Amino acid sequence: MNLLTAIGAGVLVTLATATICRASDTLNILCGVDEAWCAVMKKTYETKTGLAVKMPRMSTGEILDYVRAEKDTQTVDVWWGGTGVTHLQAAYEELLEPYRPQQEADLLPWARNFFSLSSGTSVGLYAGALGFAYNGELLASAGLPAPNCWKDLAKPIYRGHILSGNPHSSGTAFTTLVTLVQLLGEDEAFAYMRELGQNITEYTKAGAEPVKAAGRGEITIGISFMHDAVTQKEAGAPLVIVAPCEGTGYEIGAVSIVKGSRNLEAARRFVDFALSPEGQATGAAAGQNQVPSNAKAVLPPAAPDISMIKMVDYDFATFGSPEQRSRLLSRFDSEINPTN
């Protein structure tokens, strides 16, 4: 069973180091989900266990760079959240610690398949589809038609109206890059991204920032995961959320224990909690709308129905390799030339 079918059923090391506690009685977690979820999980887990937790938030690419940089003197115990394809890259580089979670039997097939792909070092935590959202008020005031497809976003009429993430730091943006390659073919995808790049005002560090900015009225259109846009809309933002007509990609967010963890047993207990219905409920409590991986967890009411969205058969095995990531990012730099 492939992952899509189952679903239907560099970093500033010196700055980050200051936020990571090296004491063995503190659990050090790098958080790759939204800041609000990081905060709720930290408070919930500390209250439940009495264990001190350090949990700075970073973008997924930054976390990978951080874990790489500390390979020989690791201070991180757990990498929680962020796009699974980046966790797979860490797995291929032997930066993660194998662990079979207690909840394995309760996980949905796509999460168990992801666990197998990572050779037992990373587990599917949540899933979500890629898309974009536009601010209906700004679109109307600019007299622009509503975009419905990826190809629409490259039209000159949207020049200066779009934000997207930078795939070096943002797992969301790397998913966008890989999605377009799989939808269009690599050469056509890069030709499209060159046209799209003329309409993008900024490549943001964090992948959710484009739809947050659209929700705040700072930009008309943001490319991000749809569940991030749903969170903004639920908070009152005038957003219209679009699943592109050509089809789209998706993420499996993951949780992994970092190889060299100084608190291995505590790290294992956290992974078990993160995959439990109670742990996964912290997402909804923080206003997040991803699809949880535990079949016994409650689905957030506003979560997009990913079984109804046309999606590519995302090739995690290929695009999770360090070689592919490096090659695609190098080509992105040379042909798209993001300014930030």
8-49 pLDDT, tens digit each: 443 333 334 334 444 457 999 999 999 999 999 999 999 999
Amino acid 133: pLDDT:
97
Amino acid 292: pLDDT:
95
Residue-wise pLDDT tens digits, 106-165: 999 999 999 999 999 999 999 999 999 999 999 999 999 999 999 999 999 999 999 999
Contacts of 169 (CB under 8 A, 6+ apart): 11, 59, 60, 61, 62, 205, 206
Q: Model-level pTM greater than 0.75?
A: yes
More confident residue, 216 or 1: 216
The beta strands (E) that lie in the chain are given as 26-31, 52-54, 78-83, 96-97, 122-135, 162-165, 200-204, 221-225, 239-242, 250-258, 291-292
Q: CA separation (Å) from 30 to 146, 152, 176, 216?
A: 38, 36, 23, 27
Q: Are 162 and 223 in contact (CB under 8 A)?
A: yes
Give the number of C-alpha atoms closer than 13 A to the C-alpha of residue 74, restricted to the C-beta side: 25
Q: Are 254 and 87 in contact (CB under 8 A)?
A: yes
Amino acid 17: pLDDT:
39
Amino acid 12: pLDDT:
35
Residue-wise pLDDT tens digits, 263-302: 999 999 999 999 999 999 999 999 999 999 999 999 998 8
Contacts of 157 (CB under 8 A, 6+ apart): 144, 145
- Mean predicted confidence (pLDDT) in 215-244: 94
Backbone phi and psi for residue 111, each to the nearest 5 degrees, phi listed first: -75, -40
Model confidence at 313, in pLDDT bands (50, 70, 90)? confident
Instruction: Report whether pLDDT(193) > 50.
Output: yes
Q: At what angle do helices 84-92 and 171-184 cross, to 10 degrees?
A: 90
- Its sign, for the CA torsion 166, 167, 169, 173, is positive
Q: Are 172 and 86 in contact (CB under 8 A)?
A: no
Give the separation between CA 299 and CA 293, rounded to whole angstroms.
10
Model confidence at 339, in pLDDT bands (50, 70, 90)? low
Q: Are 205 and 169 in contact (CB under 8 A)?
A: yes
- SS3 at position 290: coil
Q: CA separation (Å) from 113 to 1, 63, 122?
A: 8, 23, 10
